[in-house]
Amino acid sequence: MKLFKNQSACVYRILIGCLLLLAIQPGVSGQQQKPIQDQDQEVLKQRTAVVTVNVSVTDKQFRQITGLGKEHFEVFEDKVKQEIEFFSDEDKPISVGIIFDLSGSMSNKISRAREALKAFVDTCHNDDDFFLVTFNDRATLLAELSDGQTVLNKLSLAEPRGQTALYDATYLGAEKVKEGRHEKRALLIISDGQDNASRYNYGELRKLLKENDVQIYCIGITEEFAGAGSIMDMQGRAILEEVARSTGGMAFFPTAYAELEDAVTRIAMVLRHQYSLGYVPANDQRDGKWRKIKVRVHAPKGLPSLVVRAKEGYYATP
């Protein structure tokens, strides 16, 4: 019995020794453990969100200003200056949702509106993808994400009729564009009046647009455009302007066919020649609150007065 106890004690001491040896040699049982400092850095990176802001810089005639560098920009979040850690002015492809008004009041404008959209598609990047949402009494996804020509073909068969569900169509487009294969995303709204048939109201639409990182560009086709001698209802025009401004886009209200084609061409060029800025927020709290963004440009001498367009902010979601 004494011999058995001695043997058991010996085996126990050998087992303890093996466990200690494994503890001081982490590579024996698998991958080598990372130092605590490296682990902390990795966790920090995983918890840090980079905020990307697409910025358009034009003169007051909507002409693009190119050739600016990182040193010409400043970004503020809630009035606190941020360090720009990423800068690019590359011509990158984009996913674009076309929100096209097919209400009855578009009957005498539809052919020119189609031509304007064709001019937009022709000016865009070869690798862009598009989808088409049309609307009258309700919003309809008429063409899934595809090339521009497919979208134009789908639109050629559509006929205008009914009322105007503009908010519903924009809501649908803002959700659909998230499926685009490109990080850069935008909506182009072509409409001739304010909403009169939607289930969503403007407040609900605005909340969604603040949550989604998508720029919106608007072409408002006024009554003057059709030769009736009056302009679009001021409330509808104000809404289109507000939607575009809050997302960093633009709104145009052409009064002639030539101006319409010029407007969509300018929008296409703006999308192709934007600046992309990225920063890690100084406030690293992911509390879900709204963070306001302000971008400033210090232009080189000799340039005219500049107009800077960027999204108003973002929600700091976890």
- The alpha carbons of the chain give a radius of gyration, in whole angstroms, of 28
Share above pLDDT 90 across residues of the chain, in percent, rounded to a whole number: 51
Q: Which of 68, 143, 62, 60 is nearest to 99 (CA)?
A: 143
More confident residue, 69 or 116: 69
pLDDT at 264: 87
Name the range with the highest mean pLDDT among 2-11, 106-115, 238-247: 238-247
- pLDDT of 94 above 60: yes
pLDDT at 227: 54
Query: Per-residue confidence at 283, pLDDT binned at 50, 70, 90?
Result: very high
Q: Distance between CA 250 and CA 246 in Å, rounded?
A: 9
Q: Distance between CA 294 and CA 28 in Å, rounded?
A: 53
State the CATH architecture for 95-272. Answer: 3-Layer(aba) Sandwich (3.40)
Q: How far is CA 9 from CA 12, 13, 19, in A?
A: 5, 6, 16
The single-letter DSSP state of residue 231 is P
- pLDDT of 6 above 50: no
Mean pLDDT over all residues of the chain? 83
CB 96, CB 174: distance < 8 Å:
no
- pLDDT one-digit tens code per residue, 172-217: 999 999 999 998 899 999 987 678 899 999 999 999 998 888 999 9
pLDDT at 125: 83
Query: Per-residue confidence at 272, pLDDT binned at 50, 70, 90?
Result: confident
pLDDT at 172: 97
pLDDT at 224: 59
More confident residue, 17 or 101: 101
- pLDDT one-digit tens code per residue, 139-148: 999 999 999 9
More confident residue, 264 or 187: 187
Query: Per-residue confidence at 230, pLDDT binned at 50, 70, 90?
Result: low
- pLDDT one-digit tens code per residue, 27-69: 333 344 445 445 444 444 444 589 999 999 999 888 889 999 9
Query: Can you give the three-state secondary structure of 95-146, one letter per residue?
Result: EEEEEEECCHHHCCCHHHHHHHHHHHHHHCCCCCEEEEEEECCCEEEEEEEE
